């Protein structure tokens, strides 16, 4: 099957984009092709590979592509910008596949009218980073955008660290409709555009709703986002830049900029160099979930009810349900990670007490070690904490709540391999210098996160003590 494009977003929502063409890459070279994803989309990886360097670099457009740059607004670190938009991305169109309709977007493909002074380009390291982390998230069962390919452009771009090799990412997404997309029209008072956008989003992602059910759309989006962030928290994942323009209404994780996985458990963990106040710290992610959803509710108010007072009351009632709904979703994640049988009113306290007992210990190793503890071998788990006393007492309570198949269930719920930060940095540094072997080895490992550790110990160990402190960057 070849690429088959449709352009329903451009056709149905005029005024939500600008016609823009990617910059042609001078010497495109394919760095990575996601063959498994290509097959899932009904594409022939061999045929796609013959065209990928040109099609996914801007050097040539795939047949049927009609590139556009999407308009959106957003709250970035709390401050509102009424116009952001795709400053370095081009949506080629919507692929029609046996699995459904998916956006195909190029990222790092050049300036658009939304670039705001930027060069619109991206470097090899950040594009491979998004490929790697999004593949890890997909393997971990987290809803996410995916990378179809990364192509080196053959040009150099300037960043604070000097010249870097340029690259373009081809990203597949259920859509690129964001909270910021709704904010864009709400800020302009364009209610008719909001109404069309709402109907389009419902038709594309929530077809069981009536086309004008704005409150139903909010509830559906909130439900997906609540479950998504609960999954992030269970994995120790930090998105790093949870701006409203980075919250997708499809419920997918989108825009892997300064993201990373927490190693030593510390609720205040921040990796992003630009998050100087800790707004998007690990423990704050559920709070920002509610904050971002409140901004979506504000944008939808004219559609929720013609009476503004009633609209506000209805929206507030739904917003008040987010925190308790998140706690339920988080407990569901934690019950699986702790291997518990059924549900008990004390499970929340059991989960909270476990986290208190492993403070400072490696998050991923601590949960993975529970499988051995369920088999009566708790030495590995106890060795991870500075004071084993609280954890020893906790283990006695935990044993009474275990499911009959707890060891196997625990190994299915808790990964052995995550993208360890020191390995990610080493792989991306090598790739920037032209050596893709470490990247490919790490990619293979994170695609099988729950497989046994034997023979893969290099991918399961925490960073060496001289690695930190770890800082991530947006890659813009």
Catalytic machinery residues? 245
The DSSP result for 212-240, as a single string, is T-HHHHHHHHHHHHHHHHHHHHHHTEE-S
In sign, the C-alpha dihedral spanning 187, 87, 147, 443 is: negative
Q: How far apart are CA 164 and CA 173, in angstroms?
A: 27
Q: How far apart are CA 254 and CA 243, in angstroms?
A: 11
Query: Could you tell me which residues are beta bridge partners of residue 231?
Result: none
Q: Which two tokens stand for residue 336?
A: 């699986």
Q: How far apart are CA 255 and CA 401, in angstroms?
A: 38
Output the CA–CA distances (angstroms, integers) from residue 280 to 129, 267, 284, 291, in the order listed.
Answer: 20, 11, 6, 12
Please say whether the beta carbons of 302 and 311 come within 8 A.
yes
Find tokens 């090899």 and name the residue.
124
Find tokens 């005024």 and name the residue.
15
Taking residue 256's Cβ as centre, other Cβ atoms within 10 Å add up to 27
Q: Which two tokens stand for residue 448?
A: 């099988």
Residues 6+ apart with CB under 8 A from 404: 341
Q: How far apart are CA 315 and CA 155, in angstroms?
A: 49
Q: How far apart are CA 16 and CA 201, in angstroms?
A: 13
Q: How far apart are CA 250 and CA 201, in angstroms?
A: 9
Using alpha carbons only, give the angle 37, 142, 422 rounded to the nearest 5 degrees: 85
| Buried b / exposed e along 221-230 (16+ C-beta atoms within 10 A) | bbebbbbbbb
Q: How far apart are CA 165 and CA 244, in angstroms?
A: 30
């Amino acid at each position: 099957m070849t690429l088959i494009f449709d352009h329903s977003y451009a056709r149905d929502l005029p005024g939500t984009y600008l016609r823009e063409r990617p910059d042609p890459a001078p010497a495109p070279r394919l760095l990575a092709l996601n063959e498994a994803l290509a097959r899932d989309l009904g594409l022939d990886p061999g045929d796609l590979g013959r065209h990928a360097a040109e099609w996914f670099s801007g050097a040539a457009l795939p047949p049927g592509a009609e590139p556009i740059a999407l308009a959106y607004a957003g709250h970035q670190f709390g401050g509102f910008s009424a116009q952001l938009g795709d400053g370095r991305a081009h949506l080629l169109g919507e692929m029609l596949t046996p699995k459904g309709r998916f956006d195909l977007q190029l990222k790092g493909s050049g300036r658009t009218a939304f670039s705001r002074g930027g060069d619109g380009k991206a470097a090899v390291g950040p594009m491979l980073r998004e490929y790697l982390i999004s593949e890890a998230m997909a393997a971990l069962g987290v809803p996410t955008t995916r990378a179809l390919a990364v192509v080196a452009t053959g040009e150099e771009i300037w960043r604070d660290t000097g010249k870097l090799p340029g690259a373009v990412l081809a990203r597949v997404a259920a859509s690129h409709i964001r909270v910021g997309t709704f904010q864009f029209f709400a800020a302009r008072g364009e209610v008719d555009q909001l109404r069309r956008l709402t109907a389009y989003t419902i038709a594309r992602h929530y077809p069981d709703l009536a086309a004008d059910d704005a409150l139903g759309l909010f509830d559906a989006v909130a439900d997906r986002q609540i479950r998504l962030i609960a999954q992030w928290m269970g994995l120790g994942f930090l998105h790093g830049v949870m701006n409203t323009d980075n919250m997708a209404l499809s419920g997918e994780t989108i825009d892997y900029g300064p993201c990373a996985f927490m190693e030593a458990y510390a609720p205040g963990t921040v990796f992003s160099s630009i998050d100087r106040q800790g707004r998007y710290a690990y423990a704050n992610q559920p709070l920002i979930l509610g904050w971002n959803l409140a901004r979506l509710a504000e944008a939808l108010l004219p559609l929720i009810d013609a009476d503004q007072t009633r609209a506000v009351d209805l929206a507030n009632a739904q917003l008040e349900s987010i925190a308790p709904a998140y706690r339920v979703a988080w407990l569901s994640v934690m019950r699986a990670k702790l291997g518990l049988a059924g549900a008990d009113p004390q499970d929340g306290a059991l989960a909270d007490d476990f986290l208190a007992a492993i403070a400072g210990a490696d998050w991923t190793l601590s949960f993975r070690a529970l499988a051995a503890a369920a088999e009566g071998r708790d030495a590995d788990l106890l060795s991870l904490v500075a004071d084993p006393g609280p954890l020893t007492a906790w283990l006695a309570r935990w044993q009474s709540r275990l499911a009959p198949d707890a060891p196997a269930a625990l190994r299915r719920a808790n990964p052995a391999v995550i993208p360890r930060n020191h390995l990610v940095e080493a792989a991306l540094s090598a790739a920037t210098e032209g050596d893709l072997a470490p990247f490919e080895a790490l990619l293979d490992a994170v695609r099988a996160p729950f497989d046994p550790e034997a023979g893969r110990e290099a991918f399961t160990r925490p960073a060496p003590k001289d690695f930190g402190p770890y800082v991530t960057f947006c890659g813009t």
